[in-house]
A and B are shown apart, each in its own frame.
Chain A
Amino acid sequence: MAVLVVSFIFSMIFYLALTAGSGTAFYYWSSSELITGVFFSLIAAVLAKKLIGSSGIKPGWQFMNPIRWVKFLVFAFGPFLYNLTKANIDVAGRVITGRIDPGIVKVNTGLKNDFGLMLLANSVTLTPGTLSVDADSKRNLYVHCINLENKDRKCDNVCGSFIKWARRITE
């Protein structure tokens, strides 16, 4: 039931954001858009409940805590943005010069839940010369690195401070 209500509210917020400025019946929205929004949000909520119920994933209620959202925003605009910029200049240089030294490296993450692993894998894919290829049941990540010139293949060099941040945000 809680899954149904929360996914209904979030899809409704999403729909309202997409249709803002359509009329004046209710602040910025026209009445026809509101009715359509409620209808489709209900469909989305029922589908989400069915999907989560059948897959056996536990809903991550700890993410309703606003402190975690603040931590996530600090992470997104701090170290993540910095590394994203660095990665892109690096890859653009490699495209021009063609100097690569690839390999697949195993990273012991030690994370306790799958949300942290998802956050880490996504951030790793978008940052310096690394691409997450696979993960095993013990939440170890297999990362494809485009440049292994420094032969020190420890996870500190591959993921930087991301493991620490993923733990801080999700645990």
Chain B
Amino acid sequence: MINEVLYAIMGIGMFFQMMGTLALHRFPDVYTRVHGATKCTTFGSMFLYIGVMAYSALMYFSGDAVYLSMALHIFIVMILILLTNPTGAHAIARAAYRSGVMPVKAKVDMLKGAKL
């Protein structure tokens, strides 16, 4: 029963990861693609990590001490992903704008001609 719940959690994670990949294909320019790629992959990986962490905790409490370090590692990875993923997205978007890529179909662009 508990295993099925964990599979469901990981399934949700996989679904969001797939949406992130699909976003690269469906959206028209680099900014909107970065939207999909960062948000969906962060959220999807969080679900995957939570599933793995819960499984490791379960194995640890049923008497297998090796799984403690696994749960700890996954927790650290989760925090690092939450910190580094938006930073990377910001770096990509900033570099794209500064090298002259304009947003497609944009209604307003207040960055154009702004003093930085």
Contact = CB atoms under 8 A, between A and B. Distances in A.
Interface of A: 14, 17-22, 84-85, 87-88, 91-92, 95-96, 98, 100-106, 121-123, 125-126, 129, 131-134, 136-137, 142, 144, 146, 148, 153
Given A91-B36, A122-B83, A144-B31, 6 more contacts: A21-B65, A87-B39, A91-B40, A102-B105, A131-B93, A142-B114
Contacts of B72: 17-18, 20
Q: Secondary structure of the A side of the interface?
A: mixed
B5 interface: no
Contact of B105 (A85, A100, A105): A100
Interface residues of B, number: 50
Interface in B29-54: 29, 31-32, 34-36, 38-40, 42-43
A91 B107 CA distance: 19
Contact of A102 (B32, B43, B86): B32
